[in-house]
């Protein structure tokens, strides 16, 4: 088999003083942080779609990057060349996991049967490579948004036939995820939303999505899938409004329809910010419900209002992300999937590696700094003390749901006018973070 990235060596850790662009400055896989190796804390994954398929095309122009890997686009030979390229890429970077949509793997056939046969063939090939290399599938998913038939969504489509076609695609995508021992299965509701309420029965659509997910869980469990199902919330784009708006909305939906035992959330940084939240916010919401499943590690651009999927470079955000992950006890079945792409003018093979080196180093730094924030202890201690007033007798009663408005009113009368609550000390806390980040 020919080497695809011939001029690229294996990427090694060389430390922060290294000037070698093809080396890690912070990601040192064997370094121990809080009792685990960096590699264990940071289960990085390659997204098949951005890394092996996307060429940088946008609505103003065609692609700039050549992802043919020496084969004719649209052929099974090309599908296999992508597998070869992907495994070589993961190997050179020391990445253990990958993620895919069904149609990232193969050119879609004329019929479901043809598409499915191609999926069987390519997953046989991928499976062999996995056995040889030890690489693993983090999660699989079905692309239910690109084909014109999904213009009104899949689970939320007004068309029964489209709904059933989506069901068939999901069934097959779960089959191949299980075949490749995937640890998760994702639902990103690409077009599960609406363009205008004037033509939309929102209640019907949301219930239909829930029914489809229930069937997916039943099917997955029936064929032995033990991993997690995930919803990946996003507020909009491509639709004007998407039903899985943000973490809180998705959790409410999962609980409403009894899906919360099988599902967790896959939080994407750029989706959280599109929803008007910080990345940390959606991670916290998920974690506090015990539903922080996996992460799509990327970042947006503050000045652009869409999902730009930049490789993460913001160490501040990565540190707060890893702070949430460490506090939540780590990612169990989940990982850090680089749902990220190079900028259109960064079109060379080297750029593919620079993107991942940037992202992996950013999260390595984030992990190092998050551990320091926790070990330093001042922030956690401050938060704890901030609520200390709830430790007295009446506070304990409130926390145990053992009181009522009558008793609280009597207490309030007894104490007279309350003192002002303690200072929030935001600036003090921000300066602690800065001193840890930049020491």
Binding site for ligand XLS (CB under 6 A): 101, 141, 186, 188, 232, 234, 268, 296, 307, 339
**Least Å from the CB of residue 99 to Ni ion:** 9
Spatial contact of 371 and 356, defined as CB atoms under 8 Å apart: no
SS (HEC) of 354-371: HHHHHHHHHHHHHHHHHH
**Least Å from the CB of residue 219 to Ni ion:** 23
**Least Å from the CB of residue 402 to ligand XLS:** 45
**Least Å from the CB of residue 13 to ligand XLS:** 28
**Least Å from the CB of residue 267 to ligand XLS:** 11
**Least Å from the CB of residue 101 to Ni ion:** 10
Which is the catalytic residue, given 50, 101, 277, 281? 101
Q: Answer yes or no whether residue 268 interacts with Ni ion by CB under 5 A.
A: yes
CA gap 135, 127 in Å, rounded: 10
Whether 104 is a known active-site residue: answer: yes
- Residue number with CB closer to ligand XLS (192 or 324): 192
The phi and psi torsions of 329 (rounded to 5 degrees) equal 85, 20
- Residue number with CB closer to ligand XLS (141 or 169): 141
Q: Which helix (H) or strand (E) holds 151?
A: none
Which DSSP string do the residues of 230-293 spell out, in sequence order? EE---S-SSSSEESS-SHHHHHHHHHHTT-TTTEEEEEEHHHHHHTTS-HHHHHHHHHHTT-EE
CA gap 170, 141 in Å, rounded: 7
Q: Answer yes or no whether residue 307 interacts with Ni ion by CB under 5 A.
A: yes
Residues between 323 and 382 with contacts to Ni ion, criterion CB under 5 A: 339
> Of the listed pieces 140-148, 169-177, 263-271, 310-318, which binds Ni ion according to CB under 5 A?
263-271
Spatial contact of 337 and 295, defined as CB atoms under 8 Å apart: yes
Strand partners for 268:
296
- Residue number with CB closer to Ni ion (317 or 339): 339
Taking residues 195 to 214 in sequence order and writing x for each that binds Ni ion by CB under 5 A, - otherwise, the string is: --------------------
**Least Å from the CB of residue 242 to Ni ion:** 11
CA gap 411, 393 in Å, rounded: 11
**Least Å from the CB of residue 268 to Ni ion:** 4
In 3-state terms, what secondary structure has residue 377? coil
Measure CA of the first residue to CA of the last residue in the chain; give whole Å.
47
Q: For 10-142, where are the alpha helices, taking DSSP H only?
A: 38-41, 48, 76-93, 102-105, 112-133
Taking residues 271 to 300 in sequence order and writing x for each that binds Ni ion by CB under 5 A, - otherwise, the string is: -------------------------x----
- Residue number with CB closer to ligand XLS (232 or 282): 232
Contacts 24+ apart (CB under 8 A), 77-80: 78/107, 79/105, 79/106, 79/107, 79/118, 79/122, 80/122, 80/125
- Residue number with CB closer to ligand XLS (139 or 163): 139
Query: Of Ni ion, ligand XLS, none, which one does residue 87 interact with (CB within 5 to 8 Å by kind)?
Result: none
Query: Of Ni ion, ligand XLS, none, which one does residue 141 interact with (CB within 5 to 8 Å by kind)?
Result: ligand XLS
Cα angle, residue 109 at apex, residues 103 and 114 outer, rounded to 5°:
110
- Residue number with CB closer to ligand XLS (192 or 205): 192
For ligand XLS, the nearest residue by Cβ is 188
Dihedral, CA of residue 423, residue 428, residue 429 and residue 431, to nearest 10: 170
Which is the catalytic residue, given 28, 84, 102, 104? 104
Spatial contact of 127 and 136, defined as CB atoms under 8 Å apart: no
Strand partners for 229:
185, 263
- Residue number with CB closer to ligand XLS (84 or 307): 307
- Residue number with CB closer to Ni ion (155 or 373): 155
Whether 244 is a known active-site residue: answer: no
Catalytic site positions: 101, 104
Q: Footprint of Ni ion on this chain (CB under 5 A)?
A: 268, 296, 307, 339
């Amino acid at each position: 088999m020919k080497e695809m990235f011939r001029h690229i060596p294996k990427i090694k850790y060389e430390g922060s003083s290294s000037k070698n662009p093809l080396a890690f400055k912070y990601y040192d896989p064997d370094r121990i942080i809080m009792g685990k190796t960096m590699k264990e804390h940071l289960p990085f994954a390659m997204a098949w779609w951005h890394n092996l398929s996307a060429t940088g095309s946008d609505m103003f122009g065609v692609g700039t990057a050549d992802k043919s890997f020496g084969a004719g686009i649209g052929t099974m030979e090309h599908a296999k060349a992508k597998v070869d390229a992907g495994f070589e890429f993961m190997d050179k970077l020391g990445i253990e996991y990958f993620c895919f949509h069904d149609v990232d793997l193969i050119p879609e056939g004329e019929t479901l049967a043809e598409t499915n046969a191609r999926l069987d063939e390519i997953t046989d090939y991928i499976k062999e490579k996995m056995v040889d290399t030890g690489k693993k599938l983090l999660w699989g998913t079905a692309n239910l948004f690109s084909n014109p038939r999904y213009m009104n969504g899949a689970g939320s489509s007004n068309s029964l036939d489209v709904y059933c076609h989506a069901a068939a695609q999901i069934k097959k995508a779960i089959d191949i995820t299980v075949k490749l021992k995937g640890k998760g299965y994702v639902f990103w509701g690409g077009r599960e939303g609406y363009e205008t309420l004037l033509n939309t029965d929102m209640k019907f659509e949301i219930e239909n999505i829930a029914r489809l997910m229930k069937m997916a869980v039943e099917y997955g469990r029936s064929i032995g899938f033990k991993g997690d199902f995930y919803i990946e919330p996003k507020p909009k784009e491509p639709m004007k409004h998407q039903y899985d708006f943000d973490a809180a909305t998705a959790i409410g939906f999962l609980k409403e329809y009894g899906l919360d035992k099988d599902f967790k959330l896959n939080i994407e940084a750029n989706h959280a910010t599109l929803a008007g939240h910080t990345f940390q916010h959606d991670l916290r919401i998920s974690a506090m419900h015990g539903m922080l499943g996996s992460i799509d590690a990327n970042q947006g651009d503050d000045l652009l209002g869409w999902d730009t999927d930049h490789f993460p470079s913001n160490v501040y955000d990565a540190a707060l992300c890893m702070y949430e992950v460490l506090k939540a006890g780590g990612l169990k079945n989940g990982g850090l999937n680089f749902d990220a792409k190079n900028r259109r003018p960064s079109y060379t093979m080297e750029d593919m590696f620079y993107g991942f080196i940037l992202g992996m180093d950013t999260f390595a730094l984030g992990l190092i700094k998050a551990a320091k924030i926790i070990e330093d202890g001042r922030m956690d201690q401050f938060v704890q003390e901030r609520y200390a007033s709830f430790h007295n007798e009446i506070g304990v009663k409130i926390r145990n749901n053992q009181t009522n408005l009558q008793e609280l009113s009597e207490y309030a009368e007894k104490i007279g006018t309350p003192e002002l609550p303690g200072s929030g000390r935001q600036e003090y806390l921000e300066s602690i973070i800065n001193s840890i980040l930049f020491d």
